Amino acid sequence: MSDTISNHDVLIIGSGAAGLTAAITLAKTHKVLVMAKGALDSGATGWAQGGIAAVLEPGDTFESHINDTMIAGAGLNDRETVEFVVENAPAAIERLAALGVPFNEGHDDFGDRWHLTREGGHSHRRIVHVDDATGWAVQKALEKAADANPNITLMPDMVAIDLITGKHQVDYSGEGRVWGVYAFNTKTKRVEAFTARATILATGGAGRAYLFSTAPRGATGDGIAMAWRAGCRVSNMEMMQFHPTCLYNLEVKNFLITEAVRGEGGHLVLPPGVPGAGERFMARFDPERMELAPRDVVARAIDHELKRLGLDFVHLDISHQDPEFVKHHFPNIYNRLLPLGIDITKDPIPVVPAQHYTCGGVKIDLHGRTDLPGLYAAGEVSESGLHGANRLASNSLLECFVFGEAAAQDIASQWDSLPAPPPILGWDESRVTDSDEEVIVQHNWKEIRRFMWDYVGIVRTNKRLERAMHRINLLSSEVDEYYGNFRVTPDLIELRNLLEVARLIVRSALKRKESRGLHYTTDYPDTLPVPQDTVLIP
């Protein structure tokens, strides 16, 4: 049994944009513990190439940004949430600039103070960026500010297992409040309990449920699975965004080619050796917006061409633009692809779609509150109503900053009414042993990702979804038995969560009897007149 229990004012699980924003806001008045599964910078924030959307250009309006978000989200968005996020965007950018994020400076043509780029689905230039590595610059600035704050404790290498709720109290009162989390310390190999008056989930998405994903290794849906097991509703999990353009290279995995390449004039064309080689095929799918159509449209178009012609990839070509312009705008991509024999100023880039963003998640309100008292969520782990059926480019980091701030402010404003944690039971390992068959974990992990890619991908059918659910049910009994008999390891914790989120994705997909946004099924190709969230209740 683990008897290591430490108490903090506020516990934040996740050290990306949402978690660190909340921590920095709260640390003005409270002691905060920020827990990361791996290294502090191993989450999805650092991988974000594009930028952050905000109304900053003369002539742009909040209403325009709201409309673009609603159109991309196929009407499934919650308008009040969209207004809240869009109207708070300029202030979020100002806070980041004050922290030292070196946004590219503006030109007379496109905005005055910062250079604004345009991405698919946006009707104006409104993306502030740091070259093509915005997320990394933001992550480093937030980490630096958090590290310098004496009220913030940063704790890497802690794998969250389950939320601590009323049933873990020494004297169980039947209360459903969240008191913190049990986490596996990868250095000591022990499970520790962390309690707090308020807990914020900022654990990111569930991209690693799929074989091909741009998400980091740790995006295994931990926060979604933990919240679901604890009793939170989960919404719109069928809305998995596939980024249209991930580098196709057998040596380099999961390297994203940012939306901004298309925003700055990149063309999607058929590769040599097939009928119509060199053709800009987006004209057949969205003749008005072409490559600037929303991601779901572009991803389905590429998927269609891959299947129609039996291709491994299509080409994304920006070589017709001035070489200095290309190198200046995309130095990260240029330098990364050059050693692979691809000079993007001269050569097209081979690309395929890959899972990219989890639009669904734990249901929250405008304050970041979940269904359970004491538990908040922000960022990709949550379903706030911002993204609807498809996330608009560069609204994801924005959501992290706005809801990280909102959750922190709500906790601070209610502080005096938040109860202190009661005595909590330690983690019980008295009836388990060390595993002697790690191969089971690895095999099941691979199997989940494979059948999710094959059966629950860009284009779906009821038959495929039912096959996926059949596999999930078979694996569940195996994983449950394994979890009940052996000591936890990081891989086992992640496998359990992956299986949980896979089930939530498939259940949600089977419930939606229409095609809308990211959920496209040949069994129900039409869109119903009234948009409705898919809400699962534990």
Whether residues 88 and 216 fall in one domain: yes
Does residue 468 contact residue 238 with C-beta atoms inside 8 Å? no
Among 295, 391, 464, 503, the active-site one is 295
CA distances from 338 to 224, 334, 335 (A): 38, 6, 5
Q: What are phi and psi of 459, to 5 degrees?
A: -115, 130
CA distances from 192 to 158, 429, 528 (A): 9, 12, 48
Structural domain boundaries, residue 182? 5-239+359-417
Q: What are phi and psi of 225, to 5 degrees?
A: -65, -45
Give the three-class secondary structure for 361.
Answer: strand
Burial of 340 (0-12, 13-18, 19+ CB in 10 A): middle
**CATH code of the domain containing 282:** 3.90.700.10
Sign of CA dihedral 137, 143, 148, 151: positive
Residue 534 lies in a domain: no
Residue 295 annotated to the active site: yes
Whether residues 200 and 273 fall in one domain: no
| Residue 191 CA neighbour count, 13 Å, CB half | 20
Residue 528 lies in a domain: no
Whether residues 91 and 133 fall in one domain: yes
Residue 374 lies in a domain: yes
Whether residues 349 and 211 fall in one domain: no
Whether residues 382 and 454 fall in one domain: no
Q: Tens-of-pLDDT digits for all 538 residues of the chain?
A: 445 788 999 999 999 999 999 999 999 999 999 999 999 999 999 887 779 999 998 899 999 999 999 999 999 999 999 999 999 999 999 999 999 999 998 865 544 789 998 887 899 999 999 987 899 999 999 999 999 999 999 999 999 999 999 888 888 766 789 999 999 999 999 999 999 999 999 999 999 999 888 888 899 999 999 999 999 999 999 999 998 999 998 787 778 898 889 989 999 999 999 999 999 999 999 999 999 987 778 988 998 898 889 888 999 999 999 999 999 999 989 999 999 999 999 999 999 999 999 999 999 999 999 999 999 999 999 999 999 999 998 999 999 999 999 999 999 999 999 999 999 998 988 888 887 777 888 899 999 998 998 899 998 999 999 999 999 999 999 899 889 888 999 999 999 999 999 999 999 999 999 999 999 999 999 999 999 999 999 9
* Residue 198: predicted pLDDT: 98
- Interior CA angle at 386 toward 534 and 40, to 5°? 105
Whether residues 344 and 413 fall in one domain: no
Closest CA to 376 of 407, 400, 401, 399: 407
Please count the other Cβ atoms lying within 10 Å of the Cβ belonging to residue 39. 12
* Residue 111: predicted pLDDT: 46
Whether residues 336 and 392 fall in one domain: no
Looking only at the bridges linking them, the beta strands covering 180-185 and 190-201 are antiparallel
Whether residues 99 and 200 fall in one domain: yes
**CATH code of the domain containing 514:** 1.20.58.100
Distance CA 400, CA 346 (A): 37
Whether residues 272 and 311 fall in one domain: yes
Structure tokens belonging to residue 17: 């944009």
CA 228 to chain centre: 17
Whether residues 263 and 230 fall in one domain: no
